[in-house]
Every structure is written in C-alpha cells, then in structure tokens.
A = this chain, B = another copy of it.
Amino acid sequence: MLNEIRKWLIGPPLPTQSASRERLDKIRALAALSPDALASVAYANQEIFLGLVVAGAAGLAYSWTIALAIAGLLVIVALSYSQVISAYPSGGGSYSVARENLGANFGLVAAAGLTMSYVLNVAVSLTAGVAAIASAFPFLWSHRVALSLLLLLVMTVANLRGLRESGTVMAIPIYLFVAVYLIMIGVGAYVALTQGPGSIRATTLVATEEVALFLILHTFAAGCTALTGVEAISNGVTIFKPPEVRNANQTMAAMTIIMGVLFLGTIGLTQYLAVVADAQETILSALARRTFGPGAVYLFIQSSTLLVLVVAANTSYVGFPRLASLVAQDGYMPRQLTFLGDRLVFSNGIILLAGLAGFLIVIFNGDTHMLIPLFAVGAFLAFTMSQAGMVARWLRVHGPGWRIKTIMNGLGMLATTVALLIIGVSRFVEGAWIVIFLIPLLVLTFRMVHHHYEDTRAQLTLRGLPPSLAPLPEPRVVLPISGVHRGVIEALRYARAISKHVTAVFIEIEPGSGDLICKRWKEWGLEHDIQLEIISSPYRSVVGPFLNFLDKTDREHNDGQLASVLLPEFVPARWWHSLLHNQTAMVIKLALTYRRQKMGKIRAIIDMPMHLRK
C-alpha cells in the first residue's frame, strides 16, 4: 500500500537508460540557469530598504550608492565567472574548481559554503515569495510559515517526480517576471519624470541625521544577497548547445545586464519616488502599488514575483542534489546521496535539502529578514574559493593571456573576499555566526565521513588474502529452543542437513520445565541425533545464559570457528500478534549481531522464519 501511495505521488519508476540530456538554446538556458540570480532582486531590495529605513530619510538616501557598489561587484564577479566558463567547459562548480586547484580541503570549504547557500536559497526564496503575495493579501501574513512549508512540500514532490529545469514551462515565469518588472521600471520612470521626486513623510520614520559607516556596510552586506546564484551558468556549461563556451558567455552577459537593470532600476525608482513600506509589506510591493495603484496590474506583479521566487528556490533542488552526489562520490558525504531514485533524480539529496530548508523555515518563523544574515556568507565563501582556485590555476597552467586572466580572477577574489569579510563581521551577531560556526563543523563532518569510508575499504580489501577459498571445517550448529514444536523440528532438519554437530539448548526458567522437554525429546526419538543441553537460569534471563553457553562451547571445542546459531522463529500473520509473543529470537539475533566476537571471527546466525497462516 505504501508502494501504491509512492507511485501515485511520484510516478512509476523510470529505467536507467531513459536518462538523457537535452541541450538548450540560449533563451531556454537563460531561463533554466538564471532564476536564482534574477529573483535575488526581490529580497536584496527589501534588505537594503530595511537596513536603511531605521536611519530615516537620511539613511534611505544611501540606497542608490549601495546599489551602485553592489552592481559593480556584480560586474566583477560576472567577469570572473566568464573565465571559469572558458576554463571549465565541462562545468566548473566552486567545489570542483577549488578541489582541483587548491586541494581537497579547500574544495570541502567550498562544498560546505555551497550547501549552506543552497539550503538558504530555498528558505529565503520561498519565504520571500510568500511575503510578496502576503503583501497583496494581508490576511495571509500570519500564515507565512504554513504557506512556505506547503510550497516546499509541493516543490519536493514535483522534484521527486523528476521535474526538469530545462522544461519550457519553467521559462514562462522567468520571462514574465523580467517583462513585468521592465514595464514597471519604464512606467515608474515616466511617473518619476512627470511627477518629480517624492519626499518621505517624517512621521513614519525615526529621524536621525547620523548615519554611521557601520550602517552602510551592514546594508551593503545585506544587499550582497543580490549576487547569490550568479555562479549557476558556469556550473551548467554542458547544457548549452555548441559552441557551449561562447553561448554560455553570451548568456552570462545577458543575465548580468538584466540583473543590473532590474536592480538599479527598482532601487533608483524607490529612492527617487521616496517609496516606503509598512512592516507587513515588501518594498517592491510598495513600489508596484505606487506605480500602478492597487489594482489588477499590481496583483499580477506580486503573483509573478511569487512565481519567480518559487522557480528560484527550485534551482537549489537541481543544484544541491548534484553537488551532494559529486561530493558523495568522492566519499565525503553519505554514499546514499549518489543513488538515482525511481525517477532518475537524486531523491535522497532532494529529501535532505527539503528537510534542512523546512527546519530553517520553522525555526526562523518564515521571516526572510531573519534568514538573510545566514545566506550571503555561504555563497560568498564559495565565490571566493572558486576565484582563488582560478588564480591558482592560472599561476600553475599559464597559457595564453594568463597574466590578464590572473588579474581578473584576482580582482574577483579580492572583491568577494572583502564582501565576505564585511558580511561576516557586520552581520555576525544577527546570524552570520551560525554559518561561520557550521561551515568548519560541516568540513569536519565531511572529513570524518571520508575517514570512515577509507577505514572500511582498508578492512574489506582483499590485499594480503590467499588467492583462493581456504576450506572451513564443518560448522557446529547450536539451536536455542523454547519447546518441542513444528518450527523446532523444521530447524533441526535444516541443521542436520548442514552439519553433523548439532546441539539444542533449552534455557530452563521455570524449575522442572527442563525435565518435561527432556521427556518430549525422547518421546520424539530426537536424542539419537541431536544432543540436548538443559541450562538452568536462576535469574530467569534467556539471553545471558545462552551467550555464556556459546562462549563455553566455543572454548571447549577450540576448532578455529565459532558455533553457528540457528534460530527457529515464527512470524505471526497479523502485526498485533507480535505483541503477544516474546521476541526472544529477535533479542538473541540483535545480541549476536552487535556483540563483538573475539579475534575478528564471524559467527553465522541462521534464521528460520516459519510463517503462521493465521
């Protein structure tokens, strides 16, 4: 029945051979790879507004300056990544680039940063999307956690079914979003030209003229979340139609330009028109209302914002499971993450991502603003690792124009490092500390996992073993019995078939019950073939005396093997029947499986499950 539900939910399994990889043209590749980057405008804008609004009109006047700084950073990062595209046409994620050029440890730091970044992208995008729609429908505001989790669930199921990022369906929300925002900027510019600059009503704001440097850096750090997702195109060069590198670079350029226009356009308009938002509204929602009034057009803009943020969250569902499977293949994450599920997607990675993002949404109460300080650290750490890796690469490989390339990636590295420091320091107390604490922990965990796999491999290797199967002596079989019944007889027949040395053991709990068993043993004529041992257990425990008997018999025989234990067990027909039986066989099995044997010998445990018919 569980299987049926699964099939209904995620569809019938697909054969491995049907996995294929479609190449995309630039239009569709842009839609596939840019949602995360483009949708960042939605929350980065909001963060800049929230960062500055505490300082009133004087504070908000810095919006444009900060936006320009971030746009400049965007251009530097984009140029750096276009070099990654050229150098790694087979797809150069930060993990691969750092690992190849800086060594495994730096690769793991990048992987840890990316993991954080992917998880937070889901949490931030979904909560920001819900905030966009709750800005239009205020009664939804108090249900933000539930709505975010609902979206998360729907996306998880869709991705477990094998939703493809290349689908044309996915392209619609992106281009819709770009189109409506460009129109809004255009109309807004017209409004601005015809009506002139707005002024901020002092009543709603704390008026303070002293805007400290800290405030600006702090807001810049928050705004840096606009850059998250920029690396996606360099990871996905392989999905472009040939010539891949050229197409990818052109798409990167297009994306950078669109991002720049959306970001600077909306911030510029917000500042010029002096738009301000309430606590239960986003600044982009306020801008849209200011531009179009609270009508159908406004609602359409909010809906398209929600949609693009959902698609942006979805890029993590594509990126994280792939990263995890890559890291797991190298033995740094649990191997289960490399398995293709029924629908040819890395199901375990999808479930892990959803679990972590859901956890964040719940503990941060679905509040984007609380999640943001955690977000940029991971992303910028991965940027820095990637750029540093590229610098190391150019210094090692040289090749044509390596000096200029080194300078460009070096500039990228420098810029992202500075941004990373600003983010880490200025947002430390607000939550960045969590990520700064978690990343080394994650790297340590990766290393421990790797260590365990190495240990296991060393213990399982055949090196040093004789090249053929040395014969083992005939096993001695020991059979704990609770009485003389059909299951025991079947077990005895099996024991006799595999060995001539069979001993049945009865643990006598009730004084006198052993004699009864002896009597029945003789009645059935079993005493000729099989030795029966009666062991009295004055403390009424079954498992302890049985294990002691095993140790004793192994010691006495001293034939280089451990006795095999044959467990006659019956399996009830209904689940609740299990409550009516002792499960002694199960307890013995567990005790034998987890008890470490001396000298690394293996004790075979033979289970004979007899199924009751009713």
A residues adjacent to B (C-beta < 8 A): 13-17, 334-336, 339-342, 449, 452-453, 455-456, 459-462, 465, 467-475, 484-487, 489-490, 492-494, 496-499, 509-511, 524-526, 529-530, 538-541, 564, 569-572, 577, 579-582, 589, 592-594, 596-597, 600, 602-614
A589 nearest CB neighbor, chain B only: B607
Asked if B461 and A486 make an inter-chain contact with CB atoms under 8 angstroms apart, the answer reads: yes
Tell me the smallest distance from the CB of A335 to a CB of chain B, in Å: 7
A328 nearest CB neighbor, chain B only: B580
26 sample A-B contacts, Cβ–Cβ < 8 Å, listed by A number: A13-B539, A16-B510, A16-B538, A16-B540, A335-B580, A339-B540, A341-B540, A449-B580, A453-B580, A456-B572, A456-B612, A460-B485, A460-B486, A460-B570, A461-B486, A462-B484, A462-B486, A465-B486, A469-B489, A469-B493, A469-B526, A469-B529, A471-B497, A498-B499, A605-B606, A606-B607
Whole-angstrom CA separation of A455 from B612 in the bound complex: 9
**Which of B485, B493, B526 touches A461 (beta carbons < 8 Å)?**
B485
Asked if B525 and A497 make an inter-chain contact with CB atoms under 8 angstroms apart, the answer reads: no
Q: Report the copy number of this chain in the oligomer.
A: 2
Tell me the smallest distance from the CB of A324 to a CB of chain B, in Å: 13
Chain B residues contacting A340 (CB-CB under 8 Å) are: 540
Chain B residues contacting A530 (CB-CB under 8 Å) are: 469
**Which of B459, B497, B539, B579 touches A613 (beta carbons < 8 Å)?**
B459
Asked if B474 and A459 make an inter-chain contact with CB atoms under 8 angstroms apart, the answer reads: no
Whole-angstrom CA separation of A426 from B433 in the bound complex: 66
Asked if B609 and A606 make an inter-chain contact with CB atoms under 8 angstroms apart, the answer reads: no
Whole-angstrom CA separation of A61 from B406 in the bound complex: 103
**Which of B453, B474, B577 touches A497 (beta carbons < 8 Å)?**
B474
**Which of B335, B462, B490, B496 touches A581 (beta carbons < 8 Å)?**
B335
Chain B residues contacting A608 (CB-CB under 8 Å) are: 602, 604-605
Asked if B605 and A604 make an inter-chain contact with CB atoms under 8 angstroms apart, the answer reads: no
Asked if B472 and A459 make an inter-chain contact with CB atoms under 8 angstroms apart, the answer reads: no
Asked if A342 and B539 make an inter-chain contact with CB atoms under 8 angstroms apart, the answer reads: yes
Tell me the smallest distance from the CB of A532 to a CB of chain B, in Å: 13
Asked if A582 and B336 make an inter-chain contact with CB atoms under 8 angstroms apart, the answer reads: yes
**Which of B524, B589, B596 touches A462 (beta carbons < 8 Å)?**
B524
**Which of B509, B538, B594 touches A17 (beta carbons < 8 Å)?**
B538
Whole-angstrom CA separation of A596 from B526 in the bound complex: 29
Q: Known interface pairs A472-B497, A485-B462, A608-B604. Does A467 touch B339 (Cβ–Cβ under 8 Å)?
A: no
Asked if B452 and A577 make an inter-chain contact with CB atoms under 8 angstroms apart, the answer reads: yes
A455 nearest CB neighbor, chain B only: B614
